[in-house]
């Protein structure tokens, strides 16, 4: 069972796009409560666009996710998009570095292990404008920075890669989590270079090129402050072990 | 009538994604000729993915495009994506600058005029890694740099914006062209801060966040050199006048 | 009367270069007290290089500065160095922007006023790697960011410029302060785009290309943590008024 | 014997600072010939500041340099300055990377060998705004880029480092050359990660933080175009062998 509660201050009538719902089938509830006046919530491609008047706004989401193993195939369009550089994964800048570090036969497990070894997990060491180059240079980051660096080094090595925002049972402290997906042997596989949560029990929320695509909450118009976030993610049964070295796929 | 001829050297069996076909309905032909051996071409979302053996490869595309005015509406998903920062349009970095320059009531014609006035068109002044910040600082660029700067300043002003790759009758010297699209009064409108071709006769090829999404040719696997490109774009009748200040929409 | 107290934790035998002493003649005292064992302090070009054993280290500096008006002339070597780009003032990147904004007859008061108007003073908005481009884009900064942006725009306009670290009577909250110096009518003049302290009572500590040259404390070898800094700067008599628009020179 | 001929177009009365004279004692001649009107040349710290009227300007320099071995000691001030980040050597950005790559006992020969192995020498692969981070990412550069990367990785490893512009007998094609100097065992030692010229016969021109400090010709005022540069550098006798791995010092 996974879910979250978000508390906003809406400073003027605003539109907010939320990415908190799980990607695949689930039994879920979404509650939006706020100031007097009409609150509208429409779903677009598993995002929820909330139109709210000024005042406090509380969003509560909860989902029970059945076991599933269906993994989407790698399409030509997936590969085209997942090889492009993006805001936080400027892979076009470091082709030479990747070739020097990973050679002519680059592989994803080696890249993910390199990122795990080279980075130091440190809350507050990065900000919203930090990109994968900044992270590689400073040697420190949080989950999004680890994911961005794996994705960037894969793309720079001509391996299609993207990010997935996930609920992560076992993560401590609990938070929204970001991991990398890369094509291995023609399949999408998931890599968490922080090694902070086992991959088999991750639950996908959103998929994108980098964190610009998976923001929890984006203001489309108006002005909004996100005051508080509570998240929970509980696996049914014990958490699985994960060596973080063999390929694992993330269901849709 | 628009079209192009691309000549490649394919150094090993390769997959190439081409974005040369016009976006909407047309009467078109695509010819792919190369070395002996199977050449496969599949269409994905108006891109052509060509799988070719090593050797020379020639692609010839030609389309006759009927007059059309159908413009797609601005969807919620359009707005969500078109507000995000991207590789060459890092709008998250310059919110303060945009607010200082364009004030609390930013508008797209003013932004496009500012870019027109501030930049100097200069072939060779930028490269494949140049982003909109580099361009604003250096004050010089080519069409892609103009489009990126308009898009970036719009997004930094909370105005959804994206790029369109187009055939541009009247452009001199003839080339593939990149322009900006931004939401004005709830509609997608097109802006060419280079002011080098009239907007009403532009023919859309691809739409994207920035030039990373609209590359003419991308290597998905293998190794390929693009040796030569010839483009033509002819409007039926005289070219229209364009003041480049009033809103114009680009058909899909 | 100006001065400071710095408290360090020296984690292993270390060498620290301090830039806290005023640049010109004064009646001054420097006290260095620390763990048992030899502490050496040598003066190099008004910097104090302290060699200390592991343990706590306290440095107390105090100076009474006589009134003075002697301003060093602008030498050829000054101009050569003050036109070069530097770490936090990458003026080579924004020649085009400066020409577009300040025209063919750029002048320093206009540049300083532009920086004052465009930036928002905000503690914590920048970090040790923030350069003048970052600051111009984000529109926010602290004193060092204001000084860097003035210097960068001057150099990009072919006006020699540098920074000065100063004691700043009247600054609130009291802190070490960084201001810009630029050549106007053949003389070094001082500009504080934060406008937070009157220029006539500033007392120069160090002069440099940017903040990389004026760090309060630099570790030359070993490992050191600066725990606490107290600063005071008191002008004799009332603080002068300063319109921050006419040229003022800073004594050496 | 070393020397050069520089041909300028002076577009308006201008001041140019030249760094072409060798650093130490030599038997040298400098000829400046140009348009009618007064041409002034003054020497400042081994730079020549030429004030010339509009028109063509030719500068010819030639020096015979006696054998010398005097190497200046490493002063405290040297170390203070050589640990600071600079425009093209932003060492503050990559402390984490350097620690991950070179460990807790970094040493200069290892760093120089790493740069030699990782970079590909390619004329035209970099420009005047390229910094050491760009170079490390792209994996290609020319002599200045090699020198900048060695310097940056040394500083990021707490090893004082700087650049030296040199005449380089044996370099092919002949050009002004830039190399790195770093402190090894308390002495300045010179490293050329391009390995394109033997170090013992290098002749120092200028010393600085990075290429911003050693520009061949800088315009202090006015407007100047450098049209042509011819350089020669001939060692007396056979060129020495150089393994580019043991420490060598560069005379002043």
Q: Would you call B87 an interface residue with chain C, using a CB distance cutoff of 8 Å?
A: no
Looking at residue D165, the DSSP 8-state letter turns out to be: E
Averaged over A33-42, what is the pLDDT?
86
Long-range contacts of A174-177 (CB under 8 A, 24+ apart): A174/A231, A174/A232, A174/A233, A175/A143, A175/A231, A176/A4, A176/A205, A176/A216, A176/A229, A176/A231, A177/A143, A177/A202
Q: Which of B102, B137, B157 to mutate to test the interface with C (most CBs of C within 10 A)?
A: B137
Shortest Cα distance from C197 to chain B (angstroms)?
A: 24
Averaged over A203-217, what is the pLDDT?
97
CB pairs under 8 A between A and B: 70
Q: Which of D78, D80, D99, D163 to mutate to test the interface with C (most CBs of C within 10 A)?
A: D80
The pLDDT of residue A103 is above 80: yes
Q: Determine, for residues A87 and B87 on separate chains, whether the beta-carbon distance falls below 8 Å.
A: yes
Rounded Cα distance, C122 and C124, in Å: 6
* pLDDT tens for each residue of B151-191: 999 999 999 999 999 999 999 999 999 999 999 999 999 99
pLDDT band at B37 (very low <50, low <70, confident <90, very high): confident
Class of domain C2-66+214-233: mainly beta
The pLDDT of residue D195 is above 90: yes
Q: Which of C92, C128, C221 sits opposite D128 (nearest CB)?
A: C92
pLDDT band at A117 (very low <50, low <70, confident <90, very high): very high
Chain A residues in contact with D89 by the CB 8 A cut-off are none
Amino acid B69: pLDDT: 76
Averaged over B109-136, what is the pLDDT?
97
Amino acid B24: pLDDT: 87
Q: Please tell me which residue of chain D has the smallest CA distance to C44.
A: D77
pLDDT band at A36 (very low <50, low <70, confident <90, very high): confident
Domain B2-67+214-233 grouped into CATH 3.40.50: no
Q: Which of C45, C80, C128 sits opposite D92 (nearest CB)?
A: C128
Chain D residues in contact with A134 by the CB 8 A cut-off are 93
Rounded Cα distance, B172 and B194, in Å: 12
Contact predicate A133/D93, CB 8 Å: no
* pLDDT tens for each residue of A44-85: 999 999 999 999 999 999 999 998 778 899 999 999 999 999
Q: Which of B17, B86, B129 sits opposite A93 (nearest CB)?
A: B129
Residue D101's region, left for phi above 0, alpha for psi from -120 to 50, else beta, is alpha
Q: Locate the domains of chain C by residue range.
A: 2-66+214-233, 76-213
* pLDDT tens for each residue of B55-112: 999 999 999 999 877 889 999 999 999 999 999 999 999 999 999 999 999 999 999 9
pLDDT in tens, chain C (252 residues): 999 999 999 999 999 999 999 998 899 999 999 887 778 999 999 999 999 999 999 999 999 999 877 889 999 999 999 999 999 999 999 999 999 999 999 999 999 999 999 999 999 999 999 999 999 999 999 999 999 999 999 999 999 999 999 999 999 999 999 999 999 999 999 999 999 999 999 999 999 999 999 999 999 999 999 999 999 999 988 999 999 999 999 998
Amino acid B68: pLDDT: 78
The pLDDT of residue D99 is above 90: yes
Q: Would you call A145 an interface residue with chain D, using a CB distance cutoff of 8 Å?
A: no
* pLDDT tens for each residue of D114-169: 999 999 999 999 999 999 999 999 999 999 999 999 999 999 999 999 999 999 99
Rounded Cα distance, B194 and A169, in Å: 52
Kindly report the length of chain C. 252
Amino acid C24: pLDDT: 87
A170 Cβ partners below 8 Å, 6+ apart? A196, A197, A198, A201, A233, A235, A239
% of chain B beyond a pLDDT of 90: 92
Q: Would you call C78 an interface residue with chain D, using a CB distance cutoff of 8 Å?
A: no
Give CA separation, C46 vs C22, C28, C164, D45, in Å: 8, 12, 14, 22
Q: Determine, for residues C76 and D213 on separate chains, whether the beta-carbon distance falls below 8 Å.
A: no
Class of domain A76-213: alpha beta
Q: Would you call C25 an interface residue with chain B, using a CB distance cutoff of 8 Å?
A: no
Chain B residues in contact with C95 by the CB 8 A cut-off are 138-139
Closest residue by Cα to residue D182 from D100, D108, D98: D108
The pLDDT of residue B249 is above 90: yes
Averaged over D15-24, what is the pLDDT?
96
Q: Would you call D213 an interface residue with chain C, using a CB distance cutoff of 8 Å?
A: yes
Q: Determine, for residues C87 and D87 on separate chains, whether the beta-carbon distance falls below 8 Å.
A: yes
Chain C residues in contact with D45 by the CB 8 A cut-off are 77
Amino acid C237: pLDDT: 87
Rounded Cα distance, A97 and A149, in Å: 13
Averaged over A132-141, what is the pLDDT?
98
Chain C residues in contact with D148 by the CB 8 A cut-off are none
Amino acid A75: pLDDT: 97
Q: Please tell me which residue of chain C has the smallest CA distance to D46.
A: C77
3-state SS assignment for residue C39: coil
Q: Determine, for residues C87 and D90 on separate chains, whether the beta-carbon distance falls below 8 Å.
A: yes
Q: Determine, for residues A84 and B87 on separate chains, whether the beta-carbon distance falls below 8 Å.
A: yes
Averaged over D71-82, what is the pLDDT?
96
What CATH number belongs to D76-212? 3.10.620.30
């Amino acid at each position: 069972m996974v879910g979250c509660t978000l508390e906003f201050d809406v400073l003027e009538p605003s539109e907010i796009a939320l990415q908190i719902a799980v990607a695949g089938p689930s039994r879920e509830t979404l509650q939006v409560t706020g100031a007097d006046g009409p609150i509208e919530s429409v779903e677009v491609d598993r995002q929820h666009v909330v139109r709210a008047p000024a005042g406090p706004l509380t969003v509560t989401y909860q989902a029970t996710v059945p076991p599933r193993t269906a993994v989407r195939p790698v399409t030509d369009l997936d590969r085209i998009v997942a090889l492009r550089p993006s805001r936080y994964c400027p892979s076009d800048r470091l082709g030479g570095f990747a070739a020097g570090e990973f050679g002519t036969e680059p592989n994803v497990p080696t890249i993910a292990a390199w990122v795990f070894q080279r980075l130091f997990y440190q809350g507050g060491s990065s900000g919203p404008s930090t990109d994968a180059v900044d992270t590689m240079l400073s040697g420190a980051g949080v989950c999004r920075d680890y994911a961005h660096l794996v994705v960037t080094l894969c793309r720079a090595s001509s391996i299609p890669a993207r990010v997935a925002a996930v609920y992560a049972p076992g993560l401590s402290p609990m938070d929204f989590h970001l991991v990398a997906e890369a094509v291995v042997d023609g399949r999408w596989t998931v890599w968490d270079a922080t090694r902070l949560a086992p991959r088999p029990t991750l639950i996908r929320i959103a998929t994108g090129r980098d964190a610009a695509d998976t923001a929890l909450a984006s203001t489309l118009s108006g002005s909004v402050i996100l005051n508080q976030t509570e998240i929970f993610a509980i696996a049914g049964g014990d958490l699985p072990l994960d060596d973080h070295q063999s390929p694992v796929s993330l269901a849709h």
